[in-house]
Amino acid sequence: MNILAIIPARSGSKSIPHKNIMSIHGKPLIAHSIEHALASKFISRTIVSTDSEDYATVAKKHGAEIPFLRPAEYAQDMSTDLEVFYHALNHLKETEGYLPEIVVHLRPTSPVRDPKQIDEMIKRLIENPNWDSIRSVAPAPETPFKMWFEKNGVLVPVVEDENIVEAYNQPRQSLPKVYLQNASIDITRSKTILEKRSMTGDVIGAYIMNNNFDIDNIEDLAKLRDIKINNVDNKTFCFDIDGVIAQLQKDNNYELSEPNFVTIEKINKLYSNNNYIILFTARGTKTGINWEEITKKQMDKWGVKYHELKFGKPAADYYIDDRLINIEQL
């Protein structure tokens, strides 16, 4: 059976510029989804649909095919998945005579997934010929039975069930379980896309995941970069003090500095995982004031675990600095 993975990666992200090729755990974001597809036992071909020559180069480097560049009209903010996949399947059919039976949709914004889950979903779709597609979902954090529309100042329930009297007044535990599509893995039959003009069709199989991580904004990116912090070891991390460990102070009066305990907790976790922690600071470089003793006392008082304190910028594997920006921001 021909099973095709399509990874859509347009270049025009507004929330995070060039999000799809931003580095996550040492490789471009898009590379994670390519690797997941290539690790599948059932996927026979992996392509990336992109409008960017640069993205195409990155995708090829990591093992994906780029049989076409996506037309600009299908790479807009409001372009739909259906437009992107309908174009891809038609292009492959017209130029190569190639048409897969099943299409696996892997969004690059979901870099944390297990390839075994892809194969399990493919098997379920094959075993259920009446299904048009199968979609991954996760338990919803909130129940729609307690959600409302507002119409002319009056509340109207989002969901009503004739078998549940005033569901919005019932204990949450007594209400039906609900699930949220988590954008990790969607698998569809080609005929669903081409004939029904739908990414899912009428009968959608369920694949329940306990969790998933989808990157939509810079906060999501920051959380994702911290997910595997427990697995990092034997690296050298260099943390700037002011603006990272300590909150910035007006007029550089460092005696009044206040700690950032969220950052300190992460530093201490890295320290306990056998990483080498260096703290550095530019305190006193302009004024000539010696802040060494005060700085040491602050680190001790705040419970910061470290190996070296330097007044300057030392060598390290990673730098964490409040002044750091990327080229897109510049």
pTM, to two decimals: 0.68
Angstrom distance (rounded) from CA 239 to CA 237: 6
Q: How far apart are CA 238 and CA 235, in angstroms?
A: 10
Which of 46, 208, 31, 202 shows the shortest CA–CA distance to 117? Answer: 208
Rounded Cα distance, 77 and 10, in Å: 9
| Residue 244: domain span | 228-320
Count of domains for the chain: 3
Side-chain-side CA neighbours of residue 149 (13 Å): 7
Is 330 part of any domain?
no
Residue 257 CA from chain centroid, whole number: 34
Query: What's the CA gap between 321 and 325, in Å, rounded?
Result: 9
Residues 80 and 38 in one domain: yes
Q: Are 117 and 202 in a shared domain?
A: yes
The Cα 216–Cα 110 span in angstroms is 10
CATH code, domain with 118: 3.90.550.10
What lies within 8 Å, CB to CB, of 171 at 6+ separation is: none
pLDDT tens for each residue of the chain, 330 residues long: 899 999 999 987 766 678 788 777 668 889 999 999 999 999 999 999 999 999 999 999 999 999 999 999 999 989 999 999 999 999 999 999 999 999 999 999 888 888 999 999 999 999 999 999 999 999 998 999 999 999 999 999 999 888 999 999 999 889 999 999 999 999 999 999 999 999 999 999 999 998 666 666 556 665 665 555 556 677 888 888 988 888 877 777 888 888 888 788 888 888 888 889 999 888 887 788 899 999 999 999 999 999 999 987 665 666 666 555 443 443
DSSP state of 40: -
Q: Is residue 265 part of a domain?
A: yes
